[in-house]
């Protein structure tokens, strides 16, 4: 309990850093509920701007949700089996693909979007639908899902678990759905939260791919900052934060690398058979 000046120095530093990060967000949120930002909070507090955003940009919110959910489904359907195959293969090719998975993170979103437009821009129906944006989001988020699942697959001894299931008569699909999928649940949950969060907030790719009728929330946000009153942009931010916060908190909770709980309970050598009461000391 000997708190010397070092402790207070560290505390102050932490508080300053946190304030640096949080104060602008709070300021922005305050602006969203202020009657007139130029006059300041004394002009009164209102929910007017939030309702206005709802009227103007409601569609972008629903589109963002739609794309995020569709994107999640795609990344699970594509990413989980792909991660499984990569984890099972020992060869050099598999390791190379694993390395390549980080590539979309290194390439700017604009470049991915441009590549998509060059490749598929000619298909007009496709180009002008929200599915085009979905494709961009899937390309961007798939590596996150795969890496998250791969991390779980590489910690547990899935090979032996599968052999155990096979010895009991389970064919490939039974093993995959009974043993592999349930045991990578933590990886899939962590990956899913990541995918939804990233998809909801994605701007770079979406901004390039969107059309006037396929605007997502972040694109709408940029639009409102550029063309509306500051209060409306800020109110929009509040809505975005309300949507994304629960996801971020859940991500914190489930996304933590879990310590593999494989250490068995101590054997009680003295009493050979487990006690009949079924209770352990």
Give the footprint of other proteins on this chain (CB under 8 A): 156-157, 160-161, 163-171, 174, 178-179, 182-183, 185, 261-262, 264-269, 272-278
Min CB(89)–other proteins separation in Å = 13
**Which lies closer to other proteins via its Cβ, residue 253 or residue 268?**
268
**Which lies closer to other proteins via its Cβ, residue 3 or residue 92?**
92
Min CB(149)–other proteins separation in Å = 15
Residue with tokens 């629960």: 246
**Which lies closer to other proteins via its Cβ, residue 39 or residue 256?**
256
**Which lies closer to other proteins via its Cβ, residue 186 or residue 214?**
186
Min CB(72)–other proteins separation in Å = 22
**HSE-up of residue 96 (Cα within 13 Å, Cβ side):** 3
Based on its alpha-carbon atoms, the radius of gyration of the chain, rounded to whole angstroms, reads: 25
**Which lies closer to other proteins via its Cβ, residue 212 or residue 272?**
272
Token pair, residue 76, equals 């699970």
**Which lies closer to other proteins via its Cβ, residue 42 or residue 276?**
276
User: Which ranges of 101-201 would DSSP assign to H, the alpha helix?
Assistant: 103-106, 109-120, 124-127, 130-155, 158-167, 172-175, 181-183, 185-201
Min CB(77)–other proteins separation in Å = 21
Min CB(192)–other proteins separation in Å = 18
Return left, alpha or beta for 44; rule: phi > 0 is left, psi -120 to 50 is alpha, else beta.
left
Residue 53 · residue 235 · CB < 8 Å: yes
Return left, alpha or beta for 198; rule: phi > 0 is left, psi -120 to 50 is alpha, else beta.
alpha
Min CB(245)–other proteins separation in Å = 31
CA nearest neighbour of 243 among 190, 201, 194: 201
**Which lies closer to other proteins via its Cβ, residue 227 or residue 279?**
279
Min CB(153)–other proteins separation in Å = 13
Min CB(176)–other proteins separation in Å = 13
**Which lies closer to other proteins via its Cβ, residue 67 or residue 153?**
153
Q: CA torsion, points 11, 17, 23, 28, in degrees to nearest 10?
A: -150
Chain centroid offset of residue 56 CA: 27
DSSP summary character for residue 45: B
**CB neighbours of residue 239 within 10 Å:** 19
Separation of alpha carbons 219 and 49, rounded Å: 18
């Amino acid at each position: 309990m000997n708190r010397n000046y070092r402790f207070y120095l560290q505390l102050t530093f932490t508080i300053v850093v946190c304030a640096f990060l949080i104060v602008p967000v709070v300021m922005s949120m305050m602006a969203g509920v202020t009657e007139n930002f130029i006059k300041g909070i004394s002009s009164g507090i209102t929910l007017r701007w939030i309702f206005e955003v709802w009227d103007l940009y409601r569609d972008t919110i629903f589109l963002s949700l739609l794309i995020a959910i569709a994107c999640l489904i795609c990344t699970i359907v594509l990413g989980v089996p792909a991660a499984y195959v990569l984890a099972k293969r020992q060869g050099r090719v598999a390791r190379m693909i694993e390395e390549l998975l980080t590539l979309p993170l290194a390439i700017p979103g604009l470049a991915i979007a441009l590549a998509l437009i060059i490749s598929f821009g000619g298909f007009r129906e496709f180009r002008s639908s929200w599915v085009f944006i979905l494709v961009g989001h899937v390309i961007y988020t798939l590596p996150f899902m795969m890496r998250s699942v791969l991390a779980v697959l590489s910690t547990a001894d899935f090979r032996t678990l599968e052999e155990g299931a096979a010895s009991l008569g389970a064919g490939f699909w039974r093993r995959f759905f009974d043993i592999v999928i349930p045991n990578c649940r933590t990886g899939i949950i962590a990956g899913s939260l990541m995918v939804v969060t990233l998809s909801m907030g994605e701007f770079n790719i979406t901004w390039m791919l969107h059309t006037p009728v396929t605007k997502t929330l972040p694109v709408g946000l940029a639009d409102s900052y550029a063309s509306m009153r500051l209060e409306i942009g800020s109110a929009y931010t509040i809505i975005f934060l309300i949507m994304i916060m629960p996801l971020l908190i859940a991500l914190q909770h489930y996304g933590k690398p879990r310590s593999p709980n494989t250490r068995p309970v101590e054997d009680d050598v003295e009493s050979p058979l487990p006690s009949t009461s079924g209770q352990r000391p």
